[in-house]
Chain A
Amino acid sequence: MKKLTDIEIIESIKRGNDSDFALLIDRYKDKAFSLLRRMLKNEMDAEETLQDCFLKAYNSLASFRQDAKFSTWFYKIVYNTALSALASKKRQIELGMSSIEDHFDLGTNDNEIYSNTENSELYTLRLVDELPPRNALVIILFYIDGMSLNEISQVLDLSLVNTKVILHRSRTALRDMLIKHNYHEEIL
């Protein structure tokens, strides 16, 4: 059976088939949840925020232009809603760390993370949670969602250059932690 595209599903919803929105939810819920879970650092907040995101998307579908990609449009809603959730929980300090001018230190909880992870893979994935929210977001959108840097820059309202800088810095920081524990020697 042919898989419907996002645009075909949206057209169907606009024709009055509201139940088709469930197809979009099923398609994006896991990826968006991963993103919110890492940004908000709390499962319940992530679920509640994700529900709000889907409701916002449903209520704004009329304003969605079909020459755009639904995923980019939807992740912009997710990102902005997550920022509001963070701000309302007075986590601006954490948010402020996401400025690309700032340096971040992945070594703060390193001893605990290193001793609780069995291999380089689990160790690296656990470290992604330690990245500042915006850096983690870029990594997730790039690697899990397979979005291009251009699309990510639209979601985050950043220039392409700055988005690339965030990706490179995050990846380099993760790599430095692997080097610190000599994990890279496994493949030398």
Chain B
Amino acid sequence: MKNITDEILNKYIDGELDSMELNELNHSLNDDPDAIDRLKALRLTHQILKKMEPIPAPENFTDRVMARMSVGSKRTKQVNTLFIGVVSFFSLCIFVVLGFAISELVKIDMTDSASTVLYEDVKNKIIENVEPVRAFLMSDNILFISGMISLFLLIGLYFMVHTHKEFRKSLENFGHKA
């Protein structure tokens, strides 16, 4: 061994040298007082670092985290309830609109009777009330704005889902690798 490098000394400290390299090092150290100094200082460093103690976390740390955890889970439950409520409301609205649209489209073959008159009456009243709203919603500007908002929402949703999926995947892959 011509030159005893710090790399070799570090490997010696970590027990990474095989028996042949160890013999060679021991032999070379006899002729290299500087390397002996470096090795002794490195061993001292290693011994000091081995005695290193962790810095204690602040008092009541565990209690504080557990308190935050319970607040977080309560909030998640509240958000879940709100989310289910909103989704149910909009689903109901969609069903109502769909029902109305279908009733408009499907021609019911009815005989001229009291029920037909009643049906026509109700239909006309609904159309009368809904017509101004429909005209407003079907105007070009509103359609354009709502189209753009929907597009942005969809793009935002895509990126949100994508980021979430990537994060979960990286966590799972890591767990798998380890």
Whether chains A and B associate is: yes
Q: Give the B-binding residues of A (Cβ under 8 A).
A: 18-19, 21-22, 25-26, 29-34, 37, 43, 47, 50-51, 54-55, 58-60, 63-65, 67-69, 72-73, 76, 120-121, 124-125, 128, 139-140, 143-144, 151, 154, 167-168, 171-172, 174-176, 178-179, 183-184, 186-188
CB distance from B80 to the nearest CB of A (A): 14
B57 x A29 contact (CB < 8 A): yes
**Which residue of the partner chain A has the closest CB to B73?**
A18
Residues of A within 8 A of B176 (CB): 65, 67-68
Q: Which of A34, A50, A144, A187 contacts B44 (CB 8 A)?
A: A187
Residues of A within 8 A of B37 (CB): 179, 184, 188
Residues of A within 8 A of B41 (CB): 175-176, 178-179, 183-184
B15 close to A (CB within 8 Å): no
Interface-lining segment among B59-67, B83-91, B97-105, B136-144: B59-67
B51 close to A (CB within 8 Å): yes
Query: Main secondary structure on chain A at its contact with chain B?
Result: helix
B162 close to A (CB within 8 Å): no
Complex CA distance for A113 and B144, rounded to whole angstroms: 67
**Which residue of the partner chain B has the closest CB to A68?**
B178
CB distance from A91 to the nearest CB of B (A): 20
Mask: chain B, 32-45; 1 = CB below 8 Å from A; 0 = not: 00000110111111
Beyond contacts A33-B55, A73-B174: 18 other A-B pairs, Cβ-Cβ < 8 A, are A21-B69, A30-B57, A50-B57, A51-B64, A55-B68, A63-B168, A68-B174, A124-B49, A144-B53, A168-B7, A175-B41, A175-B42, A178-B41, A179-B38, A179-B41, A184-B40, A184-B44, A187-B40
B175 x A121 contact (CB < 8 A): no
Q: Which of B48, B49, B62, B178 contacts A29 (CB 8 A)?
A: B62
B6 close to A (CB within 8 Å): yes
A25 x B178 contact (CB < 8 A): no
User: What 9 A-B pairs have minimum CB-CB distances, sorted nearest first?
Assistant: A65-B175, A184-B41, A68-B178, A33-B57, A29-B57, A30-B54, A168-B10, A68-B175, A34-B54
How many residue pairs, one in A and one in B, have C-beta atoms under 8 Å apart? 137
**Which residue of the partner chain B has the closest CB to A178?**
B41
Q: Pick the most buried of A50, A139, A171, A188: most chain B CB atoms within 10 A of its CB.
A: A171
Residues of A within 8 A of B70 (CB): 18
27 examples of A-B residue contacts, CB within 8 angstroms: A18-B73, A29-B57, A30-B54, A30-B55, A30-B56, A32-B57, A33-B54, A34-B54, A55-B68, A59-B72, A64-B171, A65-B178, A67-B176, A67-B178, A68-B177, A73-B178, A121-B48, A121-B51, A128-B52, A154-B177, A168-B10, A171-B46, A175-B44, A183-B41, A183-B44, A184-B37, A188-B37
CB distance from A160 to the nearest CB of B (A): 12
Complex CA distance for A139 and B13, rounded to whole angstroms: 14
Q: A25-B65, A51-B65, A178-B44 are in contact. Are A69 and B178 (CB under 8 A)?
A: yes
CB distance from B104 to the nearest CB of A (A): 47
CB distance from A123 to the nearest CB of B (A): 9
Q: Pick the most buried of B13, B40, B73, B175: most chain A CB atoms within 10 A of its CB.
A: B175
B42 x A171 contact (CB < 8 A): yes
